[in-house]
Structure 1
Amino acid sequence: MKPYVLSLALGLLVGVIYALFQVRSPAPPVIALVGLLGILLGEQIPPLIKSVIKPDTVATSWLQHQVAPHVFGELPQRAKAEPAAAAAAAAVSTTHKES
């Protein structure tokens, strides 16, 4: 989520700079962006209809597995600690507790 917020903040900053210099943005008009959103959401309608007509035997979240990865791209994940690093951190914390 953090990269998305940072991207939005930087976009707003660039927009303010463009406005100060009275330069038009090279970005497509809002109507084009709304059209792209419609395309992304429209691609989700056929799988939704298929799942209603012939549901899978295993109940899964259609929104979680079909829509989110396609519409939002791969969202950033939390970094997983290496097993050796986790063991070292645990050893350090127990050493500090004993002293």
Structure 2
Amino acid sequence: MKMYLISLAVGLLVGVLYYILNVKSPAPPLVALCGLLGMVVGEQLIPVIKNLMA
């Protein structure tokens, strides 16, 4: 749980810094979220495939 809170806090900090520095996000929010979802699914998919093959 602590890891999630730290991740959220750092994300919020970066968002505030982007706003203060008037920097646009490098990717549109929906595209970024889809990319993150793909990363999470990909990370979880390999152990599932390994278990199915064993």
TM-score w.r.t. structure 1 length?
Answer: 0.33
Q: Which has the larger radius of gyration?
A: 1
Moved >3 Å (runs of 4+): none
User: 1:30 aligns to what?
Assistant: 29
Matched residue, 2:8: 8
Structure richer in helix, relative to its length: 2
Q: Deviations over 1:31-83 (max 9, x none)?
A: 2223653783xx8xxxxxxxxxxxxxxxxxxxxxxxxx817xxxxxxxxxxxx
Higher relative contact order (CA 8 A, sep 6+): 1
Quick one: percent identity of the two aligned structures?
51
Aligned equivalent of 2:48 = none
The CA RMSD measured in Å over matched residues stands at 2.9
Q: Cα offset for 1:24? A: 1.2
TM-score, normalised via structure 2 length: 0.52
Mark the runs of 5 or more structure 1 residues left unpaired by the alignment. 44-68, 72-99
Aligned residues: 43
